[in-house]
Amino acid sequence: MALDESRETDAVLDVEGYTFVIEKDLYEKASPLKVDMTYMGFAITSEMELGGGGSCGSSCSGGSCSVS
């Protein structure tokens, strides 16, 4: 999640005073989306299968990954 300006290829969603901008193709594939606020920041969940997983491709320690 990041600050961005909308483009013609984006869906713009206004939800309870917040404006979300997401690429239309991604929005169609990932819907429904849920954005929650947690003690660590925003958490975004979706029914979209991301595939892969199990490795972060570089170094992992203590539950976090860093990619060089």
| pLDDT of res. 23 | 93
Position 39 in a domain: yes
Position 32 in a domain: yes
Q: How many domains does the chain have?
A: 1
Give Dmax over CA atoms of the chain in angstroms. 41
| pLDDT of res. 47 | 82
| pLDDT of res. 68 | 43
Containing structural domain, residue 40: 1-47
Q: What is the mean pLDDT of each run of 10 residues along the chain (68 residues)?
A: 89 90 92 90 85 57 49
| pLDDT of res. 67 | 47
Position 53 in a domain: no
